[in-house]
Amino acid sequence: MTTTGPVPALADRAAACADRLRAADRVLLASHIDADGLTSAAIATAALSRAGIPVETVFKKQLDAAEIESIAAREYDTVLFTDFGSGQLDVISEHVAAGDFEAIIADHHQPSDPDDCHPDAVVDTDGYADFETHLNPLLEGINGASELSGAGAAYVLARALSTEGTDNRDLAALAVVGAVGDMQAVGGELVGANAGLVEEGIAADVLEEGTDLSLYGKQTRPLPKLLEYATEVPIPGISNDQAGATRFLEGLGLDLKSDDDWRTWADLSDDERQTVASGLVQRAVERGVPADKIETLIGTTYTLTAEPRGTELRDASAVSYTHL
């Protein structure tokens, strides 16, 4: 099966990494313990397991010489680093040159200076340390802070690990969670290579992109609380004002409860959401909230459609901030 993958510029690197992993009896996966690193590991372990490659995962707060030494002591022949590793190529290259393990790296951080690395293990790519199984957007002119995260790099690798049984496109939802968690959304929206991942997730039916209020807690918070606690764009008479938020919603003619339960944003019909969004924008304008602030009230949302309705697991930003 030949495919250029979701990020064509990284296709050759992804293929080299996938070939090396397929040749391994077992793989030790080391990943960063933050939202992007955890989703990176979830993507990589899923793809490796589906490809029939045994994998064990370890998480590290930071990857320093002592941590890399402890990884080498595990006596795995093949180590996959996700969401870190590029910036530690100086240390990793020493271990590779000593024959401690073969390294595969899927990362988006700035690689080490080649002069600091073991010359037998790395080459120089535009002043960055590099080698064959190094999957990093920066080495191909893609911005690693806004266009592809660690989870995105892991997803590109996962797509290259596709088997007869699966193309791994369902993992795009996790890649989007990682990118959002890595604060890569530009003006509330994923751009560049990240946008390609969103498209793959939509095509695989695991992701929906929409325009919506960009408030936290839309799936679970009672409506008055949703508005009361939404303080990133303070709206006079609503933000930090429970009675004011309730009065505002009642003034729009909404039913705030269904039976005895508070309704959430997720419970509203499209028409009701439109009513609330318009009402909020109108109130903000009337009370003199600056236009550039008001714009941020409405943003692009990424919904994980495979997750149950009414849980924060459906909302990519909520998953990043609360569950990881």
Interacting residues toward Mn ion by CB under 5 A: 36, 83, 150, 182
Q: 144 or 224: whose CB is closer to Mn ion?
A: 144
Token readout for 56 is 């064990």
Residue 169, number of CB atoms within 10 A of its CB: 20
Token readout for 88 is 């530690």
Shortest distance, CB of residue 186 to Mn ion, whole angstroms? 16
Q: 182 or 315: whose CB is closer to Mn ion?
A: 182
d(CA 247, CA 195): 39
Shortest distance, CB of residue 279 to Mn ion, whole angstroms? 38
Shortest distance, CB of residue 82 to Mn ion, whole angstroms? 9
Task: Answer whether 149's CB lies under 8 Å from 135's CB.
Answer: no
Helical residues (DSSP H) of 5-88, grouped into ranges: 11-22, 35-50, 65-72
Q: 36 or 315: whose CB is closer to Mn ion?
A: 36
Q: 152 or 217: whose CB is closer to Mn ion?
A: 152
Shortest distance, CB of residue 156 to Mn ion, whole angstroms? 14
| Nearest residue to the partner Mn ion, using Cβ | 36
Give 272's contacts (C-beta < 8 A, 6+ positions apart).
Answer: 254
d(CA 111, CA 125): 10
Q: 89 or 230: whose CB is closer to Mn ion?
A: 89
Q: 198 or 227: whose CB is closer to Mn ion?
A: 198
Shortest distance, CB of residue 60 to Mn ion, whole angstroms? 13
Shortest distance, CB of residue 157 to Mn ion, whole angstroms? 14
d(CA 255, CA 278): 17
Q: 6 or 37: whose CB is closer to Mn ion?
A: 37
Task: Answer whether 121's CB lies under 8 Å from 131's CB.
Answer: yes
**End-to-end CA separation in angstroms for the chain:** 34
> Hey, is 29 helix, strand or coil?
strand
Is 25 exposed, middle or buried (CB count within 10 Å of its CB: 0-12, 13-18, 19+)?
A: exposed
d(CA 32, CA 250): 46
Shortest distance, CB of residue 48 to Mn ion, whole angstroms? 19
Q: 33 or 298: whose CB is closer to Mn ion?
A: 33
Shortest distance, CB of residue 13 to Mn ion, whole angstroms? 17
Amino acid at the residue 212: D
Q: 5 or 150: whose CB is closer to Mn ion?
A: 150
Shortest distance, CB of residue 36 to Mn ion, whole angstroms? 3
d(CA 137, CA 30): 19
What is the pairing mode between strands 123-125 and 207-213? unpaired
Amino acid at the residue 7: V
